[in-house]
Amino acid sequence: MQEFIFELKPDRSSELPWAGVVNASSLDAQRLKLLVDASLALSEVRDFEQLLNLIAKTGVEMANCEGCSIYGVEGENLRFLASTNLVLDQRAGHRARLVDGLRDFLIPITSNSIAGFVAKSGRAMNIPNVYELDPSLPFAFNASLDQRHQYRSQSMLTLPMCDTRGYVLGVMQFINHHNRETSAIAAFSELDTMYLTALANQVGVLLRNARMNDQLRESRVEAVKKFVIASEFTDKDTGLHIERMGRYSALFCELLGLGSAYAEDVRLAAMLHDVGKITTPDAILKKPGSLTAPEMQVMRQHALNGYDILRDSQSPLLQLGATVAGSHHEKWDGSGYPHGLAGEAVPIVGRIVALADVYDALSSKRCYKEPWSMDDVISHVSQLGGTQFDPTLITLFMDNLPRFTEVRHDFH
Ligand SMILES: [Fe+2]
Ligand SMILES: [Fe+2]
């Protein structure tokens, strides 16, 4: 290994000179403040991409350098996640092109590249000049990005982002440190490296949490879908009906300004609207033609039965599903079932799902009917505002028809 490349253990955060911070120089205090600010940002910013860009900017400021890029481990590769470069960003319009060009940029995790080597080995690399690498090293500097952007990389610090157990979750790469006195490009100092390692490890924790959240979200979606499949007939048409219903319902939440997290919960909860049909005999469920009065009575039980199945759950999502199941056949004028609730006494999710369900049922083929034409569906549904459906929702629906038809086209 070349002399000028020094290595750090992946996790140096516990070895930071915290004891010296009390008497720290103003530069140390400034770096520490940036680190604390970044930590606060981690807990406050919700948009992941925005957050990583903010961290890249913090890194540039802490290191007094020109650029910082963040890559996340994705299988056998590193995927570009965020980047900032003071020199390139100053060129008008360059930033969009730079980030667009990098968006699908993958680096194999092998020893052939600097970032790949760091991700593979978990070791930090501090290189004073990337164009003067010893040819005996396993990796080489890839100058293609420099050439494409008419940029000259020189000093480079590449750090692994590790979680608390030392697993590498990504890489942070810093370019062209400027000496704070002379402004000349110089190698990154060991102290810079230690502070940036602490930042990189914070980002590692962030990436791990984001990944865990993704997995949790995916397993939630999976669990709801499995539940629906287990409780309903599993044909393709029903699957698509449920998918569209969920999306129409989420769209209503979005149009009502209820927030994206709630909209996503409603999307999933809406899929559970008919879970109570697990208790309805097939002879009634699949009967072509109209039901007799006693059969209708049995059919209507599915609302309360669905509510009963879900209501005891500890999961707020399934509790929302219980509300949906129990109220999706209520009507605005109080003539619905099971409780005959009227107006805003019907939970908003019930009002939303009621409209989404009927809109989708009318516009789809069922065993007892052909799909209605779009014009017929729209004129029928719009006439029911104030009787069957919440008039506010009807107005939203009529004002945003193209967005609803877009969902229909995407899932048919
Ligand atoms: Fe239903
Ligand atoms: Fe339905």
* pLDDT tens per residue, range 256-314: 999 888 999 999 999 999 988 888 888 888 888 889 999 999 999 999 999 998 888 88
pLDDT band at 211 (very low <50, low <70, confident <90, very high): confident
Residues 256 and 179 in one domain: no
Which tokens is 152 given?
């000259």
Residue 386 pLDDT exceeds 90: yes
Structure-model confidence comparison of residues 9 and 174, the more confident one: 174
CA distances from 333 to 256, 336, 385, 387, 390 (A): 21, 8, 10, 5, 9
For position 47, what pLDDT does the model report? Answer: 65
Q: Which ligand is nearest to the CA of 328?
A: 1
Q: How many Å lie between the centroid of ligand 2 and the Cα of residue 274?
A: 6
Residues 175 and 284 in one domain: no
Contact between 246 and 268 (Cβ < 8 Å): yes
CA separation for the pair 133, 335 (Å, rounded): 79
CA distances from 410 to 167, 246, 247, 269 (A): 39, 13, 10, 20
Could you give phi then psi for residue 145, rounded to 5 degrees? Answer: -70, -40
The answer to the question of residue 169 being in a domain is: yes
| Highest-pLDDT range among 101-105, 223-227, 267-271 | 267-271
Would you call 136 helix, strand, or coil by DSSP? coil
Residue 49 pLDDT exceeds 50: yes
Residues serving a catalytic function are 277
Range of the domain at 46: 13-211
CA separation for the pair 241, 357 (Å, rounded): 8
CA distances from 13 to 28, 35, 162, 199, 366 (A): 15, 12, 10, 9, 62
Residues 64 and 160 in one domain: yes
Q: Count up the domains in the chain and report the number.
A: 2
For position 14, what pLDDT does the model report? Answer: 37
The answer to the question of residue 223 being in a domain is: no
The answer to the question of residue 8 being in a domain is: no
Q: What angle do CA 155, 159, 165 make, to 5 degrees?
A: 170
For position 88, what pLDDT does the model report? Answer: 83
For position 40, what pLDDT does the model report? Answer: 57
Q: How many Å lie between the centroid of ligand 2 and the Cα of residue 308?
A: 18
Q: How many Å lie between the centroid of ligand 1 and the Cα of residue 197?
A: 55
Q: Which ligand is nearest to the CA of 270?
A: 2
Which tokens is 223 given?
């669990």
Residues 188 and 291 in one domain: no
For position 98, what pLDDT does the model report? Answer: 58
Query: What is the rounded average pLDDT of the residues 175-183?
Result: 93
Residue where a domain stops, chosen among 144, 177, 211? 211
For position 212, what pLDDT does the model report? Answer: 81
Q: How many Å lie between the centroid of ligand 1 and the Cα of residue 264?
A: 20
Residue 103 pLDDT exceeds 80: no
Could you give phi then psi for residue 347, rounded to 5 degrees? Answer: -55, 145
Q: How many CB atoms lie within 10 A of CB 104?
A: 8
CA separation for the pair 86, 95 (Å, rounded): 10
For position 4, what pLDDT does the model report? Answer: 33
Q: How many Å lie between the centroid of ligand 2 and the Cα of residue 16?
A: 59
**CATH number of the domain to which 322 belongs:** 1.10.3210.10
Q: What is the DSSP letter of 150?
A: T
Q: How many Å lie between the centroid of ligand 2 and the Cα of residue 293?
A: 20
The answer to the question of residue 227 being in a domain is: no
**CATH number of the domain to which 86 belongs:** 3.30.450.40
For position 397, what pLDDT does the model report? Answer: 95
For position 100, what pLDDT does the model report? Answer: 60
For position 316, what pLDDT does the model report? Answer: 85
Preceding omega of 135 cis (within 30 degrees of 0): no
Q: How many Å lie between the centroid of ligand 2 and the Cα of residue 64?
A: 59
Query: What is the rounded average pLDDT of the residues 228-245?
Result: 74
Q: Which ligand is nearest to the CA of 307?
A: 1
Contact between 33 and 217 (Cβ < 8 Å): no
CA separation for the pair 310, 354 (Å, rounded): 18
Query: What is the rounded average pLDDT of the residues 394-407?
Result: 93
Q: How many Å lie between the centroid of ligand 1 and the Cα of residue 87?
A: 60
Query: What is the rounded average pLDDT of the residues 135-152?
Result: 88
Residues 192 and 241 in one domain: no
Residue 43 pLDDT exceeds 70: no
The answer to the question of residue 56 being in a domain is: yes
Residue 32 pLDDT exceeds 60: yes
For position 158, what pLDDT does the model report? Answer: 96
Which tokens is 314 given?
């500890």
pLDDT band at 24 (very low <50, low <70, confident <90, very high): very low
Query: In Å, how far from its chain's centre is CA 270?
Result: 20
Residues 201 and 240 in one domain: no
For position 240, what pLDDT does the model report? Answer: 86
CA separation for the pair 283, 295 (Å, rounded): 9
For position 122, what pLDDT does the model report? Answer: 92
For position 201, what pLDDT does the model report? Answer: 86
For position 1, what pLDDT does the model report? Answer: 36
Residue 155 pLDDT exceeds 90: yes
Residues 264 and 355 in one domain: yes
Residues 123 and 53 in one domain: yes
Residues 170 and 44 in one domain: yes
Structure-model confidence comparison of residues 153 and 232, the more confident one: 153
- Residue written as token pair 């940002």: 41
Structure-model confidence comparison of residues 140 and 239, the more confident one: 140
For position 365, what pLDDT does the model report? Answer: 79
Residue 205 pLDDT exceeds 90: no
Which tokens is 183 given?
């402004």
**Per mean pLDDT, which range of 81-85, 238-242, 317-321, 334-338 is the poorest?**
238-242
Residues 196 and 265 in one domain: no
Q: Which ligand is nearest to the CA of 358?
A: 2
Tell me the pLDDT of the chain averaged across its residues.
83
Which tokens is 286 given?
């699949």
The answer to the question of residue 396 being in a domain is: yes
Q: Which ligand is nearest to the CA of 280?
A: 1
For position 277, what pLDDT does the model report? Answer: 87
For position 162, what pLDDT does the model report? Answer: 87
